[in-house]
Structure 1
């Protein structure tokens, strides 16, 4: 039961990021890449936190949430700015090329949303939990939640029109603020 709770809580960030980025078009291949990178990032962060916990426990736990906050707010703010610029400059007659998120942005967001898992990994190591099992199950949970977030974003985006990227940026900023409460 404890493992399931950890998985659900840590997968919320992957879900939220997928929801935020999923408002832009995703091919099946890019969605798989995003889900794999989210799952791997979460699982690896748990494992890395476990290892780093033996070296620098206090430093990681005290600062990981601030790093995640600033990075997510920066990406979210940039998305809001781009969306605002597009809404201001576009006229109803203009047609735009289909925009997609780059692979580096996907990797970056997957990594940033996994920063809180470092602290969890430290804690799991200190209380003697089997880190390999936790890493695997949490990684699978992040993989699945990323797909769910992308699917829901695709369903919602048809109703919101061109404001969807702005909403995605706001979601990332809110996710960054949430990181401060951890």
Structure 2
């Protein structure tokens, strides 16, 4: 589950001006917390929420990541003086929205965990810690990529977010098609 958050973090790191480890840890903590909370919410919702979450999770994630990605691409094509002033950190709410978009599938996982005998708190903690680690590393990798590609890092980050959203949509569509074939 942490791979889409990792890809988004690379884009976030690339769009910042020389992000420090403290910013990478902050981003990792936000993503990890959201990723740990969403399966608990899914688990608590149980069977009642499963049909809605499974039907729409991929579309919600795709639309949120598309909007964020397009926003980053537009900012990347902005005037040179805007690009020279890359932010040193992302706003808390921008990170939370991105984290939610990359962790919506964890709601469905949480619903699935409700049907097996698993300690949800242990599972959520493991998911959160793995995501925090992956995102922290992703931001730092994004820092290196951003330094290599310069002012177009934000454009790359936007395409990465759109790619992650498209991949989520594609994987769900492919899984739905296979399920439909098997059900015939």
Report TM bin, short chain.
Answer: 0.7 to 0.9
**What TM-score does the superposition give when structure 1 sets the normalisation length?**
0.85
Is structure 2 residue 75 aligned with structure 1 residue 90?
Answer: no
CA deviation after TM superposition for structure 1 residue 28, in Å: 3.7
Report the number of matched residues: 168
Aligned with 1:128: secondary structure? Answer: coil
Superposition map of 1:21-170 within 5 A: 21-23=12-14, 24-25=16-17, 26-85=19-78, 89-90=79-80, 96-100=84-88, 101-170=90-159
- Mind listing any 5+ residue stretches in structure 2 that lack a counterpart? 173-184
Structure 1 residue runs without a partner (length 5+): 1-9
- 2:5–2:102 Cα contact (<8 Å) kept: yes
RMSD: 1.8
Q: Report the CA distance between 1:58 and its aligned residue.
A: 0.8
Question: Per the alignment, in what secondary structure is the counterpart of residue 114 of structure 2?
Answer: helix
**8 Å CA contact retained: 2:43, 2:107:** yes
Q: TM-score, normalised by structure 2?
A: 0.84
Q: Deviations over 1:93-148 (max 9, x none)?
A: x9833424222111211121111100111111123332221111010000000111
Which runs of 4 or more aligned residues in structure 1 lie more than 6 Å from their structure 2 counterparts after TM superposition? none
Q: 1:70 to 1:28 in 2, by over 3 A?
A: same
